[in-house]
Amino acid sequence: MRGNGLAIVIFLLSLLLAAPSASAQNSCDDPFAGAFIRFDASLWEQTDFCQRTVDYEDILWGGVPPDGIPPIDTPSFESIADASTWLQPQSPVIKLEIDGEARAYPLAILTWHEIVNDTLADVPIAVTFCPLCNSAVVFDRRVGDAVLTFGVSGNLRNSDLVMWDRQTQSWWQQLTGEGIVGAYAGTQLTFLPSLVIGFGAFVEQFPEGDVLSRETGVSRDYGANPYVGYDSTEQPFLFDGVIDARLPATEHVLAAYVGEEAVAYPFPILRQQGAINDVIDEVPVVAVWQGGVTSALDARSIDDSREIGWAALYSREVDGRALTFTWEDGTLRDVETGTTWNAFGEALDGELAGARLQLQIAAPHFWFAWAAFMPETRIYGSDE
């Protein structure tokens, strides 16, 4: 998504002067029907532009061609000992655990690649990170009988990464996991629960876990942030929508959509309270905050950036009973039994020792991006 302003202006002017080229796979005569197109349709020979769930005017070219930001299709992994030679305890990583197998995907790498096509515990997965939205989400790559492989389209919608699949050249919205253009328009990818945590927390929790290696096949300045100061900007890059003024545009939030309700927990409130007992569409949940993670989008060096911490959302039901959690002096405890818990939702000591809270589908995002897709979101702690 990185390109200089002059290149963008020249490209957009060229689109004003020439009609878009239609794909050979279109299932109708005029897929664009006079719409103002801000992307190069001629790059997509297999995309059926007649199938869509969004307005084409909302999709913007981001300054690079398809896979100009190269996804990682054949990831390699290293041990924690090897990863510890370049990662610090505060280095942000996406943690994914399936059937007892755990992997860490450093944002130091994903900032430059945005997508990792991988398989964990025999599950084909796509680990994704959109720097412009600070959105880290993981998907199951299976759709019906097909296993898709995802790339970076070079296009944006609400500043969010638009992915594409190599099988049909359909386009997918990264933040929502929805197919928006092509044969899979209207199809929903399955989210997999994940966390963005510090490398040190990953090491403590999964001492035998694997870590994505910097051996990606391309040369990048891993560990350096190409978006210096972005997480304090008032005007997100290439966002032409209306920013929801209830929070600062790039406020870090833990956001979830449970049942039919969307909720955002601002990190400053999470930091202050430690644990938040809530109910989302009749589901009792607890949002938990933990320190020790730096922002991937602040200073030039990710490891030297400001601390933002990390957060997780769990169901607080155990054996059919909804627990109430407190956070005192860094200790998470439930009121009903006095059991102590860690930020990974594991009961450590007390009556419920050995129990585990169910991790919910929730992810860190910048507020402006989440609100653009989920405008009816309830903000915890807000009267509006």
* pLDDT per position as a tens digit, 142-198: 999 999 999 999 999 999 999 999 999 999 999 999 999 999 999 999 999 999 999
Distance CA 282, CA 173 (A): 28
DSSP states of 92-131 as a string?
A: EEEEEEETTEEEEEEHHHHHHH-EEEEEETTEEEEEEEET
254 falls within a domain: yes
Give the sign of the dihedral formed by CA 13, CA 4, CA 115, CA 195.
negative
Dihedral in degrees, nearest 10, Cα atoms 83, 84, 85, 86? 70
Backbone φ and ψ of 46, nearest 5°: -100, -5
Query: Max alpha carbon distance in the chain (Å)?
Result: 71
DSSP states of 148-173 as a string?
A: --EEEEEEEETTEEEEEETTT--EEE
Give residue 24's pLDDT band: very low, low, confident or very high (50, 70, 90).
Answer: low
136 falls within a domain: no
193 falls within a domain: no
> Per residue in 347-365, pLDDT tens?
999 999 999 999 999 999 9
255 falls within a domain: yes
Residue 29 has pLDDT above 90, yes or no: no
> Per residue in 88-139, pLDDT tens?
999 999 999 999 999 999 999 999 999 999 999 999 999 999 999 999 999 9
11 falls within a domain: no
Q: Cβ atoms within 10 A of the Cβ of 135, count?
A: 23
How far is residue 134 from each of residues 195, 236, 250, 371, 381, measured CA to CA in Å?
Answer: 13, 11, 9, 13, 22
Percent of the chain clearing pLDDT 90 (strictly above): 89
Q: How many domains does the chain have?
A: 1
> Per residue in 303-345, pLDDT tens?
999 999 999 999 999 999 999 999 998 899 999 999 999 999 9
Distance CA 153, CA 287 (A): 34
281 falls within a domain: yes
59 falls within a domain: no
pLDDT reported for residue 8:
41
Can you give the residue range of the structural domain that contains 362?
Answer: 240-379
370 falls within a domain: yes
Give residue 384's pLDDT band: very low, low, confident or very high (50, 70, 90).
Answer: low
Element housing 205 (H / E) = helix 199-205
Distance CA 27, CA 49 (A): 8
